[in-house]
Structure 1
Amino acid sequence: MAGTKQARRAPADKYDERRNQLAESALQTLGELGYARTSLREIANNSEFTHGVVHYYFADKLELIVYCVRYYKARCVTRYDAVVDDSTTPEELLDAFAAKLVETLREEAPMHRLWYDLRTQSMFEVKLREAVLMIDQTLEDMIWRVVSKYADLCGRPPAMTPHAAYGVLDGLFQQALLGHLTGDAAAVDAMAAQVHELMPLMVTPAAA
């Protein structure tokens, strides 16, 4: 019986595996060209897959892009878990969080650029909105786990709502990304310094 169930699952597993392979391949092209300039054919031309194969697994560019970003962000939202779990002091958490922001910005700038591109496009492309809003919420939740742990380690409650904390830190990250992509060598380190300055303001002041 177990063998039968495994055999029945195999086609679906293989289908999902191929979609994931296509997503991995497509993300590089999307990160380089952006939403507007990328087509299914362009993705196929820059991968080991034919245009027919890409079109078989994804009906159109929009479906592929949404799948790609969901696939990528599903991995992103766990990258700060170790920061939260391993930090034992506010200073340790703040240092680890800022370092992780710097690392992901420098190493995965094209993917973050694609994310901000799609978030802007969702204001015009209705079919993108559900996925973008869902991903945005998972990112907000991720940031709030960091802020909440920082507040706990400080022994004081947060002074901001989750939405406000995410808006502040995401804004800093986006500005640093723009600076990094346009050749500002100081942008990334400036972001880390600003995170160190702003995080203490996200918890209520200590009693006098």
Structure 2
Amino acid sequence: MPRANPIDKHDLRRRALADSALRTLGELGYARSSLREIANNSEFSHGVVHYYFHDKLQLIVYCVMQYKQTCVTRYDGVIADATTPDGLVAAFADKLVETIVDEAPMHRLWYDLRSQSMFEESLREAVGQIDRLLEEMIWHVVTRYSALAGVAPAMSPNTAYGMLDGLFQQALLGYLSGRAEALDALREQVRRVMPLVLAAV
């Protein structure tokens, strides 16, 4: 078995730290988290966390980037398995609901970070990268839907992303507020708005 080189070991440790930190970050959010708080809620000491990440900002950006890179691949199966436009929309909406139920704290952290980027310039590049990653994911769904419907998209990738992301964020807030009907509302809203990406205006 090949031995990991020092760079690989360093990255593996950073990944392990990030996985551990995500739990605390998801619970406390950006403003209330510190490297010491994160260390106190993980198996790693404060010194170890600080060795691999210079500050809280670097750790949080790394964590969210790692999470979102994994998250976007979860829709690959939905796209690959779809055989009808309606079937794709239903499966896509179900997957959106599933990820809210299973990973609400992680999505809350992402929206927290994106809001903070309005005030902290050092966050903007990373937030922009993640936004583009999510926009590409949504556009893969849209182009598959378009192909199945036999109609070209009538809206830009940015517009489609903004529309669906807005619905997702509203549903997440409703779910976090204890409104169980927010999830069924998200399914219905996705079913209603997806045809708009193909409708010429």
Q: What's the TM-score once normalised by structure 1's chain length?
A: 0.93
Please give the alpha-carbon distance, in whole angstroms, between the structure 2 residues aligned to 1:27 and 1:148. 32
Matched, 1:17 2:12: yes
State the partner residue of 1:128: 123
- How far residue 146 of structure 1 moved from its aligned partner, in angstroms, is 0.2
Partner of 1:85: 80
1:111 maps to which of 96, 106, 110? 106
Deviation at 1:183, TM superposition (A): 0.8
Q: Which structure 1 residue ranges, 4+ long, deviate > 6 Å from structure 2?
A: none
**DSSP 3-state at the match of 1:184:** coil
Q: CA deviation at 1:204?
A: 2.9
Give the SS at the match of 1:191: helix
- Give 1:111 shift: 0.2
**Is residue 197 of structure 1 aligned with residue 195 of structure 2?**
no
Between the aligned partners of 1:152 and 1:114, the Cα distance in structure 2 is: 34
What residue number does 2:144 align with? 149
Q: Deviations over 1:63-122 (max 9, x none)?
A: 101110111011011111111111111011111101100100111000000000000001
Matched residue, 1:100: 95
Q: What is the identity percentage for the equivalent residue pairs of Structure 1 and Structure 2?
A: 67
The corresponding residue for 2:176 is 181
Residue 201 (structure 1) shift:
1.5
Of 131, 144, 156, the match for 1:161: 156
Q: How many residues align?
A: 200
Q: Helix, strand or coil: the match of 1:151? A: helix
TM-score by length of 2: 0.97
